[in-house]
């Protein structure tokens, strides 16, 4: 249908928006390199997960059509490969143009042929001493086995002259060294890549053969794995599955140059890949080295202005966070505010608070040196009840989470895993503390992002801290469900998938539809990462047709096309791709006022979130915080620097309203965070000054009220002093 789009093709449009940031003139040159690397990293994961999944569907049941586009799995694959191939020239031109602009700053990626004679001599010696001893060439033909090629590793391949048909030589092109950049100058800016040197000297690895042709290749393997289970054996099964994933079937072959057709066909045959899955690139096959280049020059013109998360203005240094949350709800906004000075502080204080009896938390992705884990282990070691639901199926974090689960258990933490066939993606914390009279107080935290100190400085997320007892009771029910393997069906205030989130969202949308049908102003807004839940999409279309104003901010894939007459003419869709990854989720139902409902949570409007995962969203009820979120959403809707708006054909263009007054919402929020903290410091300083002035006035008033001394009283005071003086003199 004209108002719907295939999920995979919509995602490719999102990655195109990432690529556009690699050439955006307002982005500093070295920061543009990051977006080129991010584009490729995104595409790698897309092939590993989504293309792997669609490939499996094509093998299982190729007649089943996509509900949005009507395409079979095979047709989807053809469309994906075509779209990716069409973007490749832009990928290449963007990187080459950026590197050219960096030349005045000394940056130059040199090919071997363009290196000086001295540099070529150095590289030959470097190959012989630093590379050749650590790699080996493998000859492959029908009489010899084909080697296993690791996922995303770079290999040099050569066609070897042979009387018995095609023979291929394969060399791992990277050693165990982490840095692929070989510097040709002291500052590292003039460089060549390790794999390019290996390729040039590949003939040294096959002395008894004549090399006919050569190229670099890179394999992408499927990573589409899923396993169900929850018992004590589950972790071991996950370890086995993660190891198995490394050997899943290839889904893509990248090659650096035009290569012998016979040799390429032979490679595809051995890898069981069709030629349509071969992609040629004129730039390096792995762009992760671009991050390293950023470290080679500290010129401010080449980088974003330095930003550091601020201390949250809503929190005081002098009182425990728990006590402050008990007094009022607190909303935290990352990366603009520091997770270390807020959430981590709350955990650390609670771990050491003798009155805290239990800490319960869900974990999905964690930082490498996680302070969250340290705090939880400390709490358990101090005798507190600590329950951790850690999701071992968090894609590409499985190995990390397996190790974290072991460390937690060793510290005495009770560790459980997600429900049997559902991932637990919620960001939920419940702390219980003894109060007077044998009662208990509770603090519940509900967030939109992971408890990860690293990504909290890179992703935009929201976190609500509340002492609301109804919300605490709902959180307790969620943890009880995770313990028993059951799902929450009814709540007081929280929205909890898979059973008690989507029905409530649909009901709140129905309320706005009813308002519009009765002549009122219905309003629905949402900020999510992705939209593909067909039931929610159908309800949004129904709302649009009823006259409800719908405003959506969707960073990534969106299977609903806005502005299509008769379907979505009352819907606008914006996407923001900028310095920070937009990750917060906000749901708004109704215009400003007492009846408006606002939620934040971990769920996107995707069926995987709404009906196949455990997700939690919380109402924002404090009017101060509601106003803050409304203001945030309005600023996002006014962004005219990084926002792109969807047109009725599904394409995106930059939002250029009021171009003379540029508004970058992310920079705006950082400025606000700095300003709020400065204002707080100014208020505190003014209070200190006022206190000092007040104290001085009191002293002056007290002095003014004191009666003057008479001569006789003065004489009486002086006499003892004289005596003391004489006595002292005598003693001396």
Residues designated catalytic: 425
Q: Which residue in 230, 611, 614 sits closest to 420, CA to CA?
A: 230
Q: Ramachandran region of residue 151, left (φ > 0), alpha (ψ -120 to 50) or beta?
A: beta
Q: Which residue in 484, 483, 491, 571 sits closest to 531, CA to CA?
A: 571
Burial class (CB in 10 A: 0-12, 13-18, 19+), 652: buried
440/303 Cα distance (integer angstroms): 50
Q: Which residue in 216, 171, 180 sits closest to 288, CA to CA?
A: 180
Question: Burial code of 627-645, b = ≥16 C-beta within 10 A, e = fewer?
Answer: ebbbebbebbbebbbbbbb
Within 161-299, residue ranges assigned H as helices are 194-200, 234-245, 261-271, 289-293
444/383 Cα distance (integer angstroms): 21
Q: What single string gives the DSSP state of each residue in 448-490? A: SS-S-TTGGGTEEEEEEEE--HHHHHHHHHHHHHHHHT-----
463/471 Cα distance (integer angstroms): 14
Within 288-382, residue ranges assigned H as helices are 289-293, 321-327, 343-352, 371-381
Q: What single string gives the DSSP state of each residue in 46-94? A: HIIIIIHHHHHHHHH-TTPPPTTT---HHHHHHHHHHHHHHHHHHHHHH
624/627 Cα distance (integer angstroms): 5
60/513 Cα distance (integer angstroms): 40
296/107 Cα distance (integer angstroms): 9
346/343 Cα distance (integer angstroms): 5
Q: What single string gives the DSSP state of each residue in 664-706? A: -HHHHHHHHHHHHHHHHHHHHHHHHHHHHHHHHHHHHHHHHHS
73/488 Cα distance (integer angstroms): 35
Question: Burial code of 122-147, b = ≥16 C-beta within 10 A, e = fewer?
Answer: ebeebbeeebbeebebbbbeeeeebe
Please give the backbone phi and psi of residue 577, each rounded to the nearest 5 degrees, phi first.
-125, 115
* 104 C-beta neighbours (distance < 10 Å), count: 8
Q: Which residue in 479, 706, 496 sits closest to 599, CA to CA?
A: 496
668/458 Cα distance (integer angstroms): 16
Q: Ramachandran region of residue 527, left (φ > 0), alpha (ψ -120 to 50) or beta?
A: beta
**Token pair 């007077």 in the structure block, residue:** 436
Q: CA torsion sign, 343 to 345 to 351 to 357?
A: negative
Contact in structure between 15 and 555 (CB atoms under 8 Å)? no
């Amino acid at each position: 249908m004209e108002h719907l789009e295939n999920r995979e093709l919509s995602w490719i449009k999102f990655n195109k928006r990432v690529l556009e940031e690699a050439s955006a003139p307002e982005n500093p040159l070295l920061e543009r390199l990051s977006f080129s690397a991010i584009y490729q990293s995104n595409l790698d994961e897309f092939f590993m997960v989504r293309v792997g999944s669609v490939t499996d569907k094509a093998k299982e049941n190729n007649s089943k059509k996509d509900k949005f586009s009507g395409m079979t799995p095979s047709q989807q694959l053809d469309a994906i490969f075509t779209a990716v191939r069409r973007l490749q020239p832009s990928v290449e031109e963007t990187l080459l143009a950026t590197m050219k602009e960096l030349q005045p700053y000394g940056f130059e990626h040199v090919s071997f042929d363009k290196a000086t004679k001295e540099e070529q001599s150095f590289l030959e010696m470097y190959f012989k001493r630093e590379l050749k001893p650590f790699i080996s060439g493998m000859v492959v033909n029908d009489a010899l086995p084909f080697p296993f090629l690791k996922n995303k590793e770079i290999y040099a391949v050569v066609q070897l002259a042979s009387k018995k048909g095609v023979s291929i030589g394969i060399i791992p092109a990277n050693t165990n060294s982490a840095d692929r950049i070989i510097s040709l100058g002291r500052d590292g800016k003039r460089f060549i890549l390790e794999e390019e040197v290996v390729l040039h000297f590949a003939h040294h690895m096959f002395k008894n053969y004549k090399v006919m042709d050569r190229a670099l290749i890179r394999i992408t393997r499927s990573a589409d794995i899923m396993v169900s289970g929850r018992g004590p054996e589950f972790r071991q099964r996950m370890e086995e599955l993660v190891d198995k994933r490394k050997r899943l079937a290839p889904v893509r072959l990248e090659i650096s140059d035009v290569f012998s057709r016979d040799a390429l066909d032979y490679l595809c045959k051995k890898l069981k890949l069709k030629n349509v899955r071969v992609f040629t690139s004129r730039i390096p096959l792995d762009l992760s080295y671009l991050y390293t280049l950023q470290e080679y020059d500290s010129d401010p013109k080449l980088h974003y202005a330095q930003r550091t998360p601020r201390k949250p203005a809503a929190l005081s240094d002098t009182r425990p966070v728990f006590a402050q949350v008990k007094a009022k709800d607190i909303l935290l906004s990352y990366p603009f505010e520091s997770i270390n000075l807020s959430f981590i502080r709350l955990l650390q204080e609670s771990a050491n608070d003798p009155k805290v009896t239990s800490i319960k938390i869900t974990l999905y992705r964690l930082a490498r040196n996680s302070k969250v884990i340290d705090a939880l282990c400390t709490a358990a070691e101090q005798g507190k009840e600590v329950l951790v639901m850690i999701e071992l199926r968090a894609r590409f974090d499985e190995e990390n989470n397996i190790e974290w689960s072991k460390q937690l258990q060793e510290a005495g933490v009770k560790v459980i895993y997600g429900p049997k066939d559902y991932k637990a993606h919620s960001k939920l914390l419940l702390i219980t503390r003894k109060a007077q009279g044998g009662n208990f107080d509770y603090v519940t935290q509900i967030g939109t992002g992971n408890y990860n100190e690293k990504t909290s400085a890179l992703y935009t997320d929201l976190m609500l801290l509340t002492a609301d007892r109804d919300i605490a009771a709902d959180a307790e029910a969620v943890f009880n469900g995770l313990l028993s393997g059951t799902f929450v069906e009814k709540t007081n205030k929280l929205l909890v998938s898979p059973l008690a989130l989507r029905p409530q969202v649909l009901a709140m949308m129905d309320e706005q539809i009813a308002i519009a049908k009765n002549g009122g102003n219905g309003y629905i807004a949402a900020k999510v990462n992705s939209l593909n839940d067909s039931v929610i999409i159908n309800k949004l279309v129904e709302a649009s047709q009823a006259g409800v104003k719908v405003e959506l901010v969707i960073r990534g894939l969106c299977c609903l096309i806005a502005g299509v007459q008769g379907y979505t003419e009352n819907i606008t869709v914006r996407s923001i791709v900028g310095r920070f990854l937009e990750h917060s989720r906000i749901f708004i139902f109704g215009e400003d006022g007492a009846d408006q409902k606002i939620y934040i949570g971990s769920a996107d409007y995707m069926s995987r979130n709404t009906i196949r995962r455990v997700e939690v969203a919380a109402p924002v009820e404090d009017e101060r915080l509601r106003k803050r979120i409304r203001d945030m959403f309005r600023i996002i809707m006014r962004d005219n620097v990084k926002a792109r708006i969807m047109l009725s054909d599904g394409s995106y263009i930059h939002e250029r309203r009021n171009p003379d007054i540029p508004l970058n919402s992310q920079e705006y929020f950082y400025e606000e965070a700095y300003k709020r903290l400065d204002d707080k410091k100014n208020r505190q300083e003014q209070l200190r000054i006022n206190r000092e002035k007040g104290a001085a006035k009191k002293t002056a008033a007290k002095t003014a009220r004191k009666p003057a001394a008479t001569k006789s009283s003065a004489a009486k005071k002086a006499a003892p002093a004289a005596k003391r003086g004489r006595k002292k003199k005598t003693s001396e």
